[in-house]
Structure 1
Amino acid sequence: MTSTRWTRLAAPTFAPTIALSAALALATMAPAQATTDQVGPVHPVATWGASADKVAGEAGAAGITDRSVRNLVHTSLGGSGVRITLSNAFGDRPVTFTSAHLGVAAAGAAVVAGTNRPVSFEGADEVTVAPGAEVISDPVEASVPADTTLALSFHVVGASGPITGHNVAMQTSYVAGAAGDIAGDEAGAGFTSEIPSWYWVESVVVTKPRRVKTAVLFGDSITDGNGSSVGANRRWPDALADRVATSRLHGRYGVMNEGISANRVLADGTGGQRALDRFRRDVLDQPGVSMVVVLAGINDIRWDLATDASALVAGYRDLIAQAHAEDLCIVGVTLTPYEGGSRYTPERERVRTAVNEWIRTSGEFDDVVDFDAATRDPARPSRFLPAYDSGDHLHPGDAGYAAMAEAFDLGLLGCER
């Protein structure tokens, strides 16, 4: 599926581009030869994404004034015709961005020499995004590699007001320490403030043949990667993208991580809009989507929004109906154990067990992945296998996220309705 907002960006053919890679630091830039990715019918596919939310805390509420921002994000899929989206979904005023650049990240806030390319919006180097809106850039005449950290930089003109972004990035990004535009600088020295969130950037999209699709992984902090190593790209969606890259499906799927820490299915809260309401923006409206994997509900149980299985079953049925109305495959995932974690009780454990039984046996999802079975301690199934526990008993660590990705049957990515 390609959503309405992306359909106008698809084109029948695509021209050769210049490679945007670390190799440019060592060699003279030259036009790349046309590849099979650049011939025939094409469409937009996401190589990276993060759900938009209000940036928490005093800094997020106050925003920034006349500062440059450098977000570091990690691709799942290589490709050309690169576009970025900037979101002001939760802003209270128009925000103007200028001097947007895309390059390959080096150490810290630096960009690999020769890779920092300007990004335009309808031919201009400045764009104003209304509150509640987002913008899609023009394609950058460059190709980005798979499995690579990019630096997305821009300058915010004037006072931004509340920041739209993504709170738990598990990646360090940067804001300039002084006023002024340094987004085009490849040196990172001026970006002196480290931030744990992504500011305003929502997705990175490449142009691919129509056989290539986007897989959206949708959920809460366990999809978000909370508990994984910061800057190491070891969330379960990253581990899944790595598996795809070394399989027969190499180059066939981009992976978007649309998890929000503390998110709930049934109610808004500190984790942003409830899953039922953000599903349209974060899944159905994304480019080239063929399937979605849903891992959500543990926070509804922990906060007693679901005191038995029925409330979450109703929520899952709503998500299934939304997906199927768009001819989208939807895969359900069992909820991982959390004995010893925050707000665990035997009563809530019984709800989790009942919900997982429904996910496994109802047949209402197009398919099911059993992350509960993949991560639990066989000697005590209500808790994580110790090797998979991040230490808080609620979130997996790097090894647990890797085990989840290993438990995912890659054949499910080809699900069709």
Structure 2
Amino acid sequence: MAAAPPTSPAKPAHQVVTWGASADRQGEAPRDRSYRMVVRTSAGGTGTRVHLSNAFGDQPVTFDSVYAGKRREGAQLVPGSNRPLTFGGGGSVTVAPGDSVFSDPLSGRLTAQSDLVVSFHVLSAGGPSTGHGMAMQTSYATAGNHSAEEGAESWTDRTGSWYYLDAVSVEKDRRTSAVVALGDSITDGWQSSSDTNRRWPDYLSRRLQSATGSGIKGVANEGISGNKVLEDGAGVSALNRLDRDVLSQPGVSTVFLFEGINDIKSHSGVSVEEMVAGYREIIARSHAVGTCVVGATVLPFKGWSEFDPESEAVRQGVNAFIRTSGELDGVADFDKMLRSPYDQERLLPFFDGGDHLHPNDKGMQALADAVDLRSLECDR
């Protein structure tokens, strides 16, 4: 009898991030509490994995029951959709301080542009918790372990934050990749309508799902309100969180850099040269791992309380670098798209969310529409 031909080892699954939110330090971490986190997918796929983070904790966190299901409405799930997740084959996992963990892949298909609900019970915790403060999405919490329940009755506490969950990925073919938006409150979605997925990365995601010529289908929103490029403060700076929040995301092929207004308007004396040096470091570190970088110009903010001619001069210098340096793989001119033709230091009132800094829903959509989808893909 002839020997059977040797079998080729199975290729590892190609994971692509379908949702993400930057981890940050939150309040005291209670024990014996369940969380029901509602997130919006971008790319659809199989083999769903969730990523739980204890990046800012100083004590171990034990998750003894983690489920993923499809939302029907509010905290209620589609009957039969809530299924347990495992970690290394076990139903519970303890995450050390500063660490994080991916679940095992879940069988079945996760639909693009759908509400995924990840429910988990925190058996033991303490010290600061890890999460994302400004979700612009209602999620739920409750005392005790109710993660396996599909009904909404036990989920009495509402929250506008995400806790512990900071990414979800799916298996896709190797031609599919993701773009990760690195930004501040504008990317985080402030002044967009809550519970409607009208942040500009959401609009970009919808464009990408319907685009036949693009292999980029995953979108992760890694914006933090108040975040800066150069200095820690409202969240770890863009430079210091680039690896964790952006370059480590599964399947990322493109970094979308839209950040700098908080450095510029803070009256810290930051110069154009310092901002450009920060951008160049992000570009160099991203290129070093084969990732494209698209940069967006900084929006006008005249009318905001911190506006002054000195800050405006820095903004103009930064935007000149973004537009003309040639060091980025692509440019999205957000400034040109949203500024007033009558006073180019101001947002056009039609796009102004009311504070002269953050765009409204129409402005968020205009930002996404200003992105040339072809610019998101480069030869690296």
| TM-score normalised by length of structure 2 | 0.95
Q: Does 1:272 align with 2:235?
A: yes
CA contact (8 A) 2:44 2:112 kept: yes
1:23-53 Cα deviation digits (max 9, x unpaired): xxxxxxxxxxxxxxxxxx7400011011111
1:329-384 Cα deviation digits (max 9, x unpaired): 11111001111124111221111111111111111112211000011111111111
What is the aligned length? 372
CA distance in 2, matches of 1:77, 1:100: 22
CA distance in 2, matches of 1:281, 1:298: 22
CA distance in 1, matches of 2:57, 2:73: 31
Per the alignment, residue 4 of structure 2 pairs with: none
Q: 1:191 to 1:160 in 2, by over 3 A?
A: farther
Per the alignment, residue 169 of structure 2 pairs with: 205
Q: 1:251 to 1:316 in 2, by over 3 A?
A: closer
Q: Does 1:70 align with 2:36?
A: yes
Q: After TM superposition, what 4+ stretches of structure 1 lie above 4 angstroms from structure 2?
A: none
1:308 Cα deviation from its structure 2 partner: 2.6
CA contact (8 A) 2:121 2:145 kept: yes
Per the alignment, residue 85 of structure 2 pairs with: 119
CA contact (8 A) 1:220 1:261 kept: yes
Give 3-state SS (helix, strand or coil) of 2:346's partner: strand
Per the alignment, residue 133 of structure 1 pairs with: 99
CA distance in 2, matches of 1:252, 1:215: 7
Q: Does 1:85 align with 2:51?
A: yes
CA contact (8 A) 1:78 1:251 kept: no
Q: Does 1:195 align with 2:159?
A: yes
Amino acid at match of 2:19: W
CA distance in 1, matches of 2:214, 2:255: 19
CA distance in 2, matches of 1:181, 1:92: 23
Amino acid at match of 1:303: S
Aligned-pair Cα RMSD in Å: 1.4
Per the alignment, residue 375 of structure 1 pairs with: 338
Per the alignment, residue 15 of structure 2 pairs with: 44
CA contact (8 A) 1:290 1:416 kept: no
Q: Which of 255, 262, 267 does residue 219 from structure 2 map onto?
A: 255
1:416 Cα deviation from its structure 2 partner: 2.2
Per the alignment, residue 409 of structure 1 pairs with: 372
Give 3-state SS (helix, strand or coil) of 1:104's partner: strand
CA contact (8 A) 1:331 1:369 kept: yes
Amino acid at match of 2:283: I
Amino acid at match of 1:324: H
CA distance in 2, matches of 1:300, 1:89: 24
Amino acid at match of 2:195: G
Amino acid at match of 2:223: G
| TM-score normalised by length of structure 1 | 0.87
Gaps in structure 2 of 5+ consecutive residues? 1-8
Gaps in structure 1 of 5+ consecutive residues? 1-10, 14-40
The equivalences for 1:292-311 within 5 A come to 292-311=255-274
Q: Does 1:101 align with 2:81?
A: no
Amino acid at match of 2:293: I
More off after superposition, 194-203 vs 157-166: 157-166
Per the alignment, residue 31 of structure 1 pairs with: none
Amino acid at match of 1:156: V
1:410 Cα deviation from its structure 2 partner: 0.6
